[in-house]
Amino acid sequence: MSGPRVMSVGLACVDIVSVCKNYPEEDSDQRVLDFYWQKGGNAANTSSVLSLLGARSEYMGNFANDNEMRFLKEDFESFGVSTAHCRTYDTGYITPTSIIIMNSQNGSRTILHASKNLPEVTLEDFKAVDLKNYKWIHFEGRPCFNTPTYEIVRMLAHIDEYNQSLSESEQVQTSVELEKPARPELDQLLDKANYVFVSKEYSQNKGLNSKEEAVNAFVKRCRKGASVICAWGEDGAAAIDCEGQLVTSLCFPPEKLCDTLAAGDTFNAATIFALTKGTKLCDAITFGCKVAGAKCGMQGIRGLKNINLT
């Protein structure tokens, strides 16, 4: 693949998945139907889906120098995702891990995440990126426990400064994902990017009860000309474009629900992929819903490489 890259900045972790017949009772003992490791983390999943769809995709995050890092790097390589700008911390750091309980009856997933001490990407890390090689950079909203200032705000400001001297067609497009409701610092990101992805959970935490309410509320806090996008599970998705027009999409569920893990990341990736191709926002979120629906009908995301959405 040639041409400008699409970068996803955020978390890569190891998912340790147990597929159960049903959700286990507390203090019980039962056999699982299946057990496997896979790469996880919102940005990591987004970068992999982008590559499967045909983008020249790159992931940027930090690695701990341990056995889990080697697993993650091999997995990124198998998806064709570059990790050229990732930083590796050598001593005393641990790869983030998620223990996931998958209910085979309804496809639900319960996630127990552990992230002990691996630092987040900083502005100084990000300055090593030559922005002229990228057409889109997506940021997963991450906590800022290890830095006194919110590094994602600074990285997005760095891109804005770069874009100032360029024509609109030459500028790097930016997007952010606001997912976790328990992170009030994410509110700082609402007016910092061209596209803002807000989750159902994040929106409900703000007292918003539908995808339409969510995008109408959040667009008032975004920068001029920005678009807000909200996926609402079984109720599809909504967005408001740069002209203030509300657009919506239906949900496209699979014939049989199999695995909902990374469905939101898949929606984000597919929507971004469509937008990088010049697709209108209404059609981009419909494409996102279709790809996310297809993903829910398969285990993992690798099968997305061969999906037929016609």
- Is residue 198 a part of any domain in this protein? yes
Laid out side by side, the sheet with 246-249 consists of 57-60, 5-9, 134-140, 173-178, 195-198, 227-231, 237-240, 246-249
Q: The tokens 């989750």 sit on which residue?
A: 199
- Is residue 112 a part of any domain in this protein? no
- Is residue 35 a part of any domain in this protein? no
Give the count of domains, the chain.
1
What's the pLDDT at 2?
Answer: 61
- Is residue 32 a part of any domain in this protein? no
- Is residue 30 a part of any domain in this protein? no
What's the pLDDT at 109?
Answer: 84
What's the pLDDT at 203?
Answer: 96
State how far the Cα of 237 lies from the Cα of 195, in Å rounded to an integer: 14
- Is residue 225 a part of any domain in this protein? yes
The parts of the chain modelled with pLDDT lower than 50 are: 148
State how far the Cα of 297 lies from the Cα of 156, in Å rounded to an integer: 35
Phi, psi for residue 292 in degrees, rounded to 5: -65, -40
Find the Cα–Cα–Cα–Cα dihedral 266, 204, 147, 10, rounded to 10°.
Answer: 0
- Is residue 240 a part of any domain in this protein? yes
CATH of the domain at 172: 3.40.1190.20
Could you list the residue range(s) of the whole structural domain that residue 253 is in?
5-11+41-89+118-306
Reported as a single tens digit per residue, the pLDDT across 175-228 is 999 998 867 788 999 999 999 999 999 999 999 999 999 999 999 999 999 999
- Is residue 28 a part of any domain in this protein? no
Task: Count Cβ atoms below 10 Å from residue 219 Cβ, excluding itself.
Answer: 20
State how far the Cα of 46 lies from the Cα of 285, in Å rounded to an integer: 15
